[in-house]
Amino acid sequence: MSEVQPNRLPVGGLIDRAKPMSFRFDGRTLQGFAGDTLASALLANGVGLVGRSFKYHRPRGILTAGPEEPNALVELRGGARREPNSKATTVELFDGLEARSQNRFPSLAFDLLSLNALLAPFLPAGFYYKTFMWPRGAWEKLYEPAIRRAAGLGRASGEADPDAYEKAHAFCDVLVVGGGPAGLLAALTAARTGARVILCEEDFALGGRLLGDRTEVDGGCGLAWARDVEAELRSLAGVTIMGRTSVVMLHDGNSFAAVERVSDHLPVPPPFQPRQRLWKILARQAVIATGAVERPIAFGGNDRPGVMMASAVRTCLNRFGVAPGKRACVFTANDSGWSAAGDLLAAGVRVEAVIDPRVKVDAPVTAGARKAGIPTFLGSHVTGAHGGHGVRGIEVRKPDGRTERIAADLLAVSGGWNPALGLTSHLGARPLWSPQIEAFVPGKLPPNTQVAGAVRGVFALPDVLADGAAAGAAAAEAAGFRSGAVDVPAASRDATSLSACWRSPGASGKVFVDFQNDVTDGDIVLAHREGYRSVEHLKRYTTLGMGTDQGKTGALLGQALLAEAAGRSIAEAGTPIARPPQVPVAIGVLAGPHRGRDFRPVRRTAGHDWAQEQGAVFVEAGQWLRPQYFPKAGESDWLQSVSREAAGVRAGVGVCDVSTLGKIDIQGRDAGRFLDFVYVNAFSALAVGKARYGIMLREDGFVLDDGTTARLADDHYLLTTTTANAGRVMQHLEFCHQVLCPALDVQMISVTEQWAQYAVAGPHARDVLARLVDPPHDIGDAAFPYLSAAGLTVCGGVAARLFRISFSGERAYELAVPARYGDAVIRAIVAAGEPFGIVPYGTEALSVLRIEKGHVAGNELNGQTTAADLGLGRTISTKKDYVGRTLARRPALQAPGRAVLVGIKPVDRSQRLRAGAHFLAMGAPAKPDADEGHVTSVAYSPALGHWIGLGLLQRGRMRMGERIRAYDPVRNGDQLVEVCSPLFVDPEGARLRG
């Protein structure tokens, strides 16, 4: 294999050499092993150039070995699964993986857009605010599209995502974020107390730094210890280990969001498995052990392929068995970089030099390098890395100012360690500067949270382990568990002395601080010169710390340079607060299963299947699906169907599913008094077996809802609401009872779902129902006049309720049966109505019928109308108190000039009306000042043979017969209409009573 993978070491690593995997990069077929990441497999194959940078199209390689990677962004997969901006360092290799470089044309090696680099003088920080200002109009049409084309990263597929996503909830006593040494021991310590523990690790393997270094724990290999801990954790019933899971957000109430990449490591998700799962984890206590991220140093060409973080080099060697170079140099400002030199030597890589800006480094740290005869340069800096598509040599500036060139194809860099403290800032806590570790550490911790290990600046392995154990014990105890003696294994003590090095003095060439956004040291200085003194402003002006890596490697470098330019300390300059998410999150997983038809639940009535069989067109009414109309063969448009249905009701009989209306059982000794209180009209005097129309106001005096309420027994009413307001009215009634009149003996419960209800309307309505109602129930007009209500049985013993109420203005009944009979009963109604030509009608015809009768509905109950506005003033009782009474008497609500309900018809009867048009007096200008109201509802009236409408018109009742304009600037409408009574059909109500 090593011929195929030139940089693969002959032995070692945590890869499975027995499982070779084939993958493609930019069309080239390459080999890797199970356990590789895409990045490690590319490096094994000697592929160092993997992308082009955002702005200057600089050649870029692989900088890190984790989610902090700024450079190695690739496009994965193809077709609808194409996935841009994936970090090669976090992509788990699978057989058949397809990856492409992005942001290059025509090819990665020869990228014409790298000419941008020549334009660099014109592309400084904030260039789009300056360079492309003139001519003004060109920005939108020319400059912005051109810049967007040239810059940016990958492209989304533009197709629907073929995979499924899930959401799930998890609960635990202790959540441990991070499966490195601190997290592992925290989890184990907490789990041993009996606490329910969830351990989340972003990587596909537990171990954290132990995966990439060669430290010893408990007298053996650190990784073996980690494996033992993992095995014990897996054996404990209360422990859940969630691998491939990034904890991305911390919210109030100890609520964490985590993304589990269930199938990202597979070509396609297995059957019944989602691609990713979004977890909401509620933890009583949390231990954040997210470790630290190594930061680069600013020097010329520090972005070239071949310049890598020292820890990433170690991970390549030790975890993946890959030597990312043949001749290496190490540039480190702290002890940990020297370990990289040791690991390189151990792997047989030639180490050309170790450069450390510190004048004095402890002898044990340098001993290995000196023993191996490696040239060491103390008090020195790397000022430049040279080469084209990869490093060929470096320039070292020695303490005496002289420079030396060293040939090398790999430069391992360590500028220090930044604690990965993102989660600790999500509730707004500002990080604190730690002079000991020259980096920011967590400030005030979120409630019920511990931090352990490198994330709080503890770096030496024995200390990390002790810290993890203590945090685990503290968390378990805080969650109510007793921990015994805490067992901390011994570990080799790694040297962790450091001194910050931000920028090499005398650096030449382009010096990058934020690789992903192509922010250079010059941009920082420029931003400062232009007055950007705050780090938050610096971030927004230069884009420092933005993008998919959120500046995890370089942002602090930029902040340090800003502080230096301003002559302030970094502690004074501060650092921006990290906001969630901690790593990029796909929109798909946030939506979860709630997309398309599943965006929200759907409610179906018991008569749904029947309506579907009739070919109904359905409309969404809130969550409900209601038949809108029932087209018949030969009907060319909805209006034709709707007119037929409405006319059929008036001429014969029709049936409509009204199950969706809210139904609330109101019971108790004081049910009548309670209804008097919530309705403007009186209900306590309503006789048993009678129904009445009622209007409910909000506290502020405007109409809330309307509906009929029937009295079924002395202490039992059934209140109905509109479909839209069912939930809101229930809430309102509960509020009124619990807060305003708790002493009343009233019990309420929604029974909407218990009953399927059908309106049978038209001159033959009684004839139809008479065929269904069981004897001896009498529904003749004498026994069962308009506004009667009764419990009876239908169709041979089905318990039912019958109400003689009407929305259509016709003789009408509403028949309610238990929902299980809803399907059978609608079929029975239609069968019984067949001799009378019964017409099923939907919500459109329902609307036509009610507009013809001037009945108000949602368009008129718009939250701005009073009962008087709607012509319902006479229903208001003056003898009692009710909700909304006081505020309904406000002068503005009683003003004579208010817009009130009127009918309108087009002067030219052939014209179609449109709801939403505004009323203007004749001769008035079409200006908001002259607005006198608007058209609320319109319908084509089959009864009248022309369009009619309802509207709210100022002083409307005094203007009957007046001609006004219905002005609709949005749809270029300007019509003459005549104001009339809203009662278009049967104003005396004769049809109602039969």
Q: How far apart are CA 779 and CA 775, in angstroms?
A: 10
Stretch that binds other proteins, among 67-75, 495-503, 822-830, 972-980 (CB under 8 A): 822-830
Q: Which two tokens stand for residue 116?
A: 């941008």
Whole-number minimum distance, CB 835 to other proteins, in Å? 10
Residues 503-542 that bind other proteins (CB under 8 A): none
Q: Does 620 bind other proteins (CB under 8 A)?
A: no
Q: Give the nearest distance from C-beta 656 to other proteins in angstroms.
A: 17
Using CB under 8 A as the binding rule, whether residue 621 contacts other proteins is answered as no
Q: Total residues contacting other proteins (rule CB under 8 A)?
A: 62
* 455 close to 442: Cβ distance less than 8 angstroms: yes
The owner of tokens 């650190």 is: 222
**Which has the closest alpha carbon to 287: 181, 132, 162, 149?**
181
Q: Which residue has the tokens 């509730």?
A: 427
Binding positions for other proteins, 936-975, rule CB under 8 A: none
Q: Where are the beta strands (DSSP E) in 239-275?
A: 239-242, 245-251, 255-260
Interface residue with other proteins among 798, 915, 921, 924 (CB under 8 A) is 798
Q: Compute the least distance from the CB of residue 603 to other proteins, in Å.
A: 4
The reply to whether 790 sits near other proteins by the rule CB under 8 A is: no
When binding is defined by CB under 8 A, the residue of 509, 668, 689, 763 that contacts other proteins is 668
Among 419, 545, 822, 854, binds other proteins (CB under 8 A): 822
Cα distances (angstroms) measured from residue 683 to each of 687, 711, 875: 9, 9, 12
CB neighbours of residue 27 within 10 Å: 8
CB of 91 vs other proteins, minimal distance in Å = 24
In this complex, which beta carbon is closest to other proteins, that of residue 269 or of residue 393? Answer: 269
Residue 327 or 716 having the CB closest to other proteins: 716
Q: Considering only residues 193-252, where is the footprint of other proteins by CB under 8 A?
A: 196
Restricting to residues 898-927, which ones interact with other proteins according to CB under 8 A?
none
The amino acid at residue 225 is W
Residues in Cβ contact with 608 at an 8 Å cutoff, skipping those fewer than 6 apart:
625
Nearer to other proteins, 231 or 237 (CB): 237
Q: Which is nearest to 392 in space by CA: 301, 295, 314?
A: 301
**Minimum CB distance to other proteins smaller for 315 or for 660:** 660
Task: Decide whether 600 or 632 has the Cβ nearer to other proteins.
Answer: 600
**CB of residue 124 vs other proteins: minimum separation in angstroms?**
49
Contact yes or no for 369/351 (Cβ under 8 A): yes
Crossing angle for the helix pair 521-529 and 555-566, nearest 10 degrees? 40
720, 726 contact by CB (below 8 A):
no
Give the residue, chosen from 520, 605, 628, 859, that forms a contact with other proteins under the rule CB under 8 A: 605
Bridge partners for 964 per DSSP = 921, 977
Contacts with other proteins in 419-438 (CB under 8 A)? none
Please report how close the Cβ of residue 660 comes to other proteins at its closest, in angstroms.
Answer: 8
- C-beta of 172 vs 382, nearer to other proteins: 172
Q: Does 312 bind other proteins (CB under 8 A)?
A: no
Distance (Å, whole) CA 917 – CA 908 = 16
Going from the C-alpha of 163 to that of each of 82, 83, 204, 273, 440, the distances in angstroms are 12, 12, 21, 9, 40
Q: Which stretch binds other proteins (CB under 8 A): 599-607, 691-699, 777-785, 864-872?
A: 599-607
Question: What residues numbered 155-174 form the site for other proteins, per CB under 8 A?
Answer: 164, 166-171
Q: Would you give the binding string for other proteins spanning residues 712-751, x where CB under 8 A is met? A: ---xx--------------------------xxxxx-x-x
Kindly tell me which of 283 and 696 has the beta carbon lying closer to other proteins.
283
- Of 600, 889, 890, 963, which lies in the binding site for other proteins, with binding defined by CB under 8 A? 600
Taking CA atoms, 424 is separated from 245, 295, 545, 837, in Å, by 18, 19, 18, 71
Q: Please give the helix or strand (H or E) that residue 584 lies within, else none.
A: none
CA atoms within 13 A on the CB side of 229: 34
Q: Smallest distance, Å, CB 748 to other proteins?
A: 8
Q: For residue 272, state whether it binds other proteins (rule: CB under 8 A).
A: yes
Residue 590 in contact with other proteins, rule: CB under 8 A: no
Q: Considering the rule CB under 8 A, would residue 603 count as an interface residue with other proteins? A: yes
Give least dist CB 743 to other proteins, A: 8
- Binds other proteins (CB under 8 A): choice among 31, 376, 640, 754: 754
Interface pick for other proteins out of 187, 691, 819, 899 (rule CB under 8 A): 819
* 448 belongs to the binding site for other proteins (CB under 8 A): no
Closest CA to 433 of 418, 449, 445, 412: 418
| Coil vs helix vs strand at 250 | strand
CA dist 126 → 137, 298, 516 (Å): 19, 21, 16
When binding is defined by CB under 8 A, the residue of 241, 464, 805, 828 that contacts other proteins is: 828
Closest approach of other proteins to the CB of residue 799, in Å: 9
Shorter beta-carbon distance to other proteins: residue 439 or 625:
625
**Cβ at position 167, least distance to other proteins in Å:** 7
Please count the CA atoms within 13 angstroms of the CA of 917 that sit on its side-chain side: 25
Report whether 659 contacts 636 (CB < 8 A). no
| Minimum CB distance to other proteins, residue 533 (Å) | 45
Query: Which segments within 151-254 are labelled E, that is strand?
Result: 165-177, 197-200, 216-217, 220-221, 239-242, 245-251
CA 29 to chain centre: 37
Q: Is 497 in the site for other proteins (CB under 8 A)?
A: no
DSSP 8-state class, residue 462: H
Helix or strand run (H / E) with residue 43: helix 38-44
CB burial of 854-866 (b: ≥16 within 10 Å; e: otherwise) equals: bbbbebbbeeebb
Residue 676 CB, nearest approach to other proteins (Å): 17
How far apart, in whole angstroms, are the C-alpha atoms of residue 486 and residue 467? Answer: 11
Among 156, 602, 958, 960, binds other proteins (CB under 8 A): 602
CA–CA dist 77, 70 (Å, integer): 20
Q: Give the footprint of other proteins on residues 768-787 (CB under 8 A).
A: 771-772
Residue 16, SS3 per DSSP: strand
Say if CB 429 and CB 444 are below 8 A apart: yes
Cβ closest to other proteins, residue 174 vs residue 573:
174
Closest by CA position to 129, among listed 563, 548, 543, 550: 543
Stretch that binds other proteins, among 41-49, 334-342, 598-606, 934-942 (CB under 8 A): 598-606
Terminus-to-terminus CA distance in the chain, angstroms? 94
Q: What is the DSSP letter of 872?
A: -
Q: Angle of helix 461-478 relative to helix 181-192, nearest 10 degrees?
A: 30
Q: How far is the CB of 738 from other proteins (least distance, A)?
A: 10
Question: Which member of 593, 837, 873, 989 binds other proteins (CB under 8 A)?
Answer: 593
Which of the stretches 101-109, 529-537, 753-761, 885-893 binds other proteins when contact is defined by CB under 8 A? 753-761
As measured in angstroms, the least distance from the Cβ of 688 to other proteins is: 15
How far is the C-alpha of 295 from the C-alpha of 454, rounded, in Å? Answer: 14
Of these, 796, 891, 897, 928, which contacts other proteins (CB under 8 A)?
796
Window contacting other proteins (CB under 8 A); options: 581-589, 596-604, 639-647, 873-881: 596-604
721 or 937: CB nearest other proteins: 721
Q: Which DSSP category does 111 fall into?
A: B
**Residues interacting with other proteins, by CB under 8 A?**
164, 166-171, 196, 271-273, 280, 282, 593-594, 598, 600-606, 609, 624, 665, 667-670, 715-716, 743-747, 749, 751-755, 771-772, 795-798, 818-825, 827-829, 831-832
